[in-house]
Homo-oligomer: A and B are copies of this chain.
Amino acid sequence: MGFYEMDKNELVSMKKQWDDEYNTFKAKGLKLNMARGKPGPEQLELSMDMMDVLNSKSSLIGVNGDDYRNYGILEGIPEARDMFSKMIGVHDDEILVCGNASLNIMYDVVSTSFLKGVNGSTPWCKLEKVKFLCPVPGYDRHFAICENFGIEMINIPTDENGPDMDMVEKLVSSDDSIKGIWCVPQYSNPTGYIYSDETVKRFAALKPKAEDFRIFWDNAYCIHHLVDSPKLILNLMDECRKAGNEDMVYIFGSTSKVTFPGAGVAALGTSKNNIAFLKKVMGIRTIGYDKINQLRHVRYFGDYQGLLKHMDKHKTILAPKFEAVIDMLEKEIAPLGIGSWTKPQGGYFVSFDSLPGCAKRIVALCKEAGVTLTGAGATYPYGKDPEDKNIRIAPTYPSVEELKMAMEIFCLAVKIASAETVLD
């Protein structure tokens, strides 16, 4: 029976029972973490063989005869540029292979835009106002970059096809202080949505008022599938090329969740014009990135196909975790009609929407019972979820068993918080 059909006494009595169950969990003093999109220990084990790929007897001479142990090769080793250009979906002269984190590349690109402009435009720090469009719910670290630079963020609603493109087109074409938009197109963070072909085409065809407007296409999860025959998004760069819009896009990717977070390799795909400009500042900032780690990754995977094969192993570990989350929600929450959630085919998160006004309370109840979730509000710019209802669930780190327990607590928290609201 749905929540709203119950009479008040019935709900009060059910709430009493949920409180009891909740307190029993609380007494156990559990410590379960579902806060961040962290790979679990079994996933880390998958890449341990990579540690054997290079040893003291290995040649670290590259395809071009360069010694990768020494300085140089700012744009990344050719072997890695080849592999990452395929992953990111750009030509092999449209890629920079960098250090250990795509977040760092994103920050550096924004920072460069502030200090030096974009391909010769006025440095953003000289402008009175810089705005970014932020499809919501979205990724808190993107929003944190904006906050750091004082960029004004504008919420863009999203659905299973991606951001509201009518709104994006209208804003981008009319306001030249809008300089960027953050997108996680294949398996959005946190919804898991896959942008539709039409959405990608409309992105590629944007006619921004600001010549220095850029799409920040964070394709972090483009190969992180949970199903066997995943839907793949259209290639943005190809579509941009058709529209003569190659300069409008930065595409980011990394192996952070493929091999080791923090010890992976990250890359940026973008037009040759953008690369030429960015390399000028990159060459001031560094003599080069870690080519040995780049080589370690390429030798381990062999090629892009090898990389994809490796991802199947992650899928085998992760699919049951997502299943456990969805199953529990279907069983415990669906009948009560007090929440909705996404059923992603890939990525690292499930997005849960509670009744309005309950998210903060749910997260707090979970925390009290030893289950740490991403803070409520984190999926919105400035940490402000206007309806206080969105919660990002990150099922990857705990074991399936821990996850089931954490989700039991989560579902109890949802029920209790919802009952509080309804009874209030």
Contact = CB atoms under 8 A, between A and B. Distances in A.
Interface string A39-65: 101001000111110111110000000
Contact of A56 (B41, B49, B115): B49
A15 to B, nearest CB: 37
A382 interface: no
B51 A285 contact: no
Interface stretch (A202-210, A255-263, A370-378): A255-263
Nearest to A259: B69
A72 B55 CA distance: 26
A400 interface: no
A261 B70 contact: yes
Given A51-B54, A115-B114, A262 B287 contact: yes
Given A44-B67, A67-B41, A292 B262 contact: yes
A422 interface: no
Contacts of A123: 125
A308 interface: no
A145 B292 contact: no
State the oligomeric state as a number of copies: 2
Contact of A103 (B148, B286, B290): B286
A291 interface: yes
B49 A52 contact: no
30 contacts: A36-B71, A38-B71, A44-B69, A44-B70, A48-B57, A49-B56, A50-B56, A51-B54, A51-B55, A51-B58, A52-B56, A69-B262, A71-B262, A72-B262, A99-B99, A100-B289, A100-B290, A104-B285, A107-B285, A111-B115, A116-B148, A125-B125, A148-B284, A261-B287, A262-B289, A262-B290, A262-B291, A263-B290, A290-B290, A293-B293
Given A100-B286, A260-B292, 19 more contacts: A51-B54, A51-B55, A52-B55, A55-B55, A69-B261, A70-B260, A99-B100, A103-B285, A104-B285, A115-B149, A116-B148, A123-B125, A125-B125, A141-B284, A141-B287, A144-B284, A262-B290, A263-B291, A290-B293
